[in-house]
Structure formats: structure tokens, C-alpha cells
Amino acid sequence: MPSPDPNIPTVSDQRSFDGVSHGYAPDGSPVTPPPVPLEKIVGDVVDNLSATAKAELALLEARGELALHGASWAAAWGGIAACALGVAMLALAFGAILALAPHVGPLLATLIVVVALLLVAAFAGWRAHNSYGDVRTAFRRDLGIERTDD
């Protein structure tokens, strides 16, 4: 008598997976979960929107704090730079007066340095005015209306 093949399952082993579903229900329709009440869905949506709004407000607050921190340090270091520049300009002016005084006299040397510094100040003021105009344009509500005084 030939020996049975060990790879062929016996009749009792062929139906051992009856309780396992592989995406279909051979013995009937699958059990559907009960429907979720509308109040719970709406409550979840409101909770999610509330959490999102709180997170957005926290982000805006953090960005505002960062901007304030950066602006305060920029103002502090800018003040130090402006003081240093002022002292350097004074030193340059005194040096120019002292260098020109033996050649043209102290009064004319002082006038030459003052006129040169006034020309530098006028140029810097003109550039600052143009930059201020760009800032005003950027913050205007209606960019479609262009006026000559802006």
C-alpha cells in the first residue's frame, strides 16, 4: 500500500480556517459597526477646530515674541553702531580740519569740512526719504490707487 503524501492535508485539516475572514465572509455578511451619532462627529469637528485655532494663536504669539526680541536687539546694536559712527565722523571732521588748516587757514578749513558733511547728510537724507516712500507703499491698503504724494 502506498504511503500517503505528507504535503496533502487530510479532510479534517482542510476546513480548519473557517473562522478566519480574508476580506469576505463565506458564512454570512460581515458585522458592521454601529453608526456614529451625528452629535459625536460634530463634537469632534468642533474640538479639532478649537485645537487648531489655539495652536494658530500660540504660533502667532510665539512669532510676535520672536519679532519683539529681534527688534529690541537690533535697536540696541543699531544704537551702538550709530554712536560709534558719530564718534568716527567727529574724528574724521576734526582730522580734516587739522589737515587743511595749515594750507587754507582754520576758518576756511572748518567751512570746507562743514560743507562736505552737509552734502553727505543731504545725500543720506534723500536716500532715507526714498526708502521711507517704499515703506509707505508697502503698507498702503489699496495698491491700485497710485498718488504722487505717497
Count of domains observed in the chain:
1
Query: 77 or 146, which is more confident?
Result: 77
Distances (CA, A) of 139 to 27, 32, 52, 111: 71, 58, 29, 42
Residue 76 lies in a domain: yes
Is residue 105, in this structure, part of any structural domain at all? yes
- Burial environment of residue 88 by CB neighbours within 10 A (0 to 12, 13 to 18, 19 or more): exposed
Residue 76's domain comprises 36-139
Residue 29 pLDDT class (50, 70, 90 cuts): low
Residue 133 contacts residue 116 (beta carbons within 8 Å): no
How far apart are the two ends of the chain, measured CA to CA in Å?
109
Query: What's the pLDDT tens digit per position in 80-133?
Result: 999 999 999 999 999 999 999 999 999 999 999 999 999 999 999 899 888 888
pLDDT at residue 15, rounded to an integer:
53
Q: Within a domain: residue 49?
A: yes
Assigned domain for 23 exists: no
In percent, the amount of the chain with pLDDT more than 90 equals: 41
**Residue 18 domain-assigned (yes or no):** no
Rounded Cα gap, residues 100 and 93, in angstroms: 11
Rounded to an integer, the average pLDDT of 36-59 is 88
Q: Model pTM greater than 0.85?
A: no
Cell of 4: 500517503
pLDDT at 27 over 70: no
Structural domain includes residue 22: no
Closest CA to 96 of 108, 84, 109: 109
The CA-atom distances, in angstroms, between 73 and each of 62, 81, 84, 112 are: 17, 12, 17, 38
> Is residue 2 situated within a structural domain?
no
Q: Among 74, 70, 83, 115, which Cα is nearest to 96's?
A: 115
Query: What would the grid cell of residue 141 be?
Result: 491698503
Asked whether residue 24 is domain-assigned, the answer is no
